[in-house]
Amino acid sequence: MLLMMLCASCTITVKPLSPQQHHKPRIHHHHRRVVVHKPQTDAHTVDANWMAKYKELETEYGHTVPADQEIKPKNGKFSVPQSVIDHFGDMVRAGPVVSPTP
């Protein structure tokens, strides 16, 4: 019986694969892609503590910017333009105000 099982074996033939043909991608020019862009805004939301510090620095330096008029309250916070954020950063980096000595 063992002899019959050994004689009845499977054979596997290995041959090289035929080269595959590469197809060029098809470009359909009649399809239009719809892109919806959200309006770009440069407003940032800040909290009341940030706003209080900003006003304190403006008073200390005695310098305001026209964009201060664009500050709007929004759900307990404030919406401020990028130029106000930049102005705040400039005042913080400037350091303490030194008054001239007489």
Tell me, rounded to whole angstroms, the distance of Cα 94 from its chain centroid. Answer: 29
> What pLDDT, in 10s, does the model give residues 2-24?
556 556 666 667 777 777 766 66
From CA 33, how far away is CA 23, in angstroms rounded? 24
Query: Is 90 exceeded by the pLDDT of residue 84?
Result: yes
From CA 100, how far away is CA 96, in angstroms rounded? 13
What's the residue count for the chain? 102
Q: Which of 38-42, 44-48, 59-63 has the lowest mean pLDDT?
A: 38-42
> Residue 2 has what pLDDT?
56
> Residue 19 has what pLDDT?
74
Query: Is 90 exceeded by the pLDDT of residue 26?
Result: no
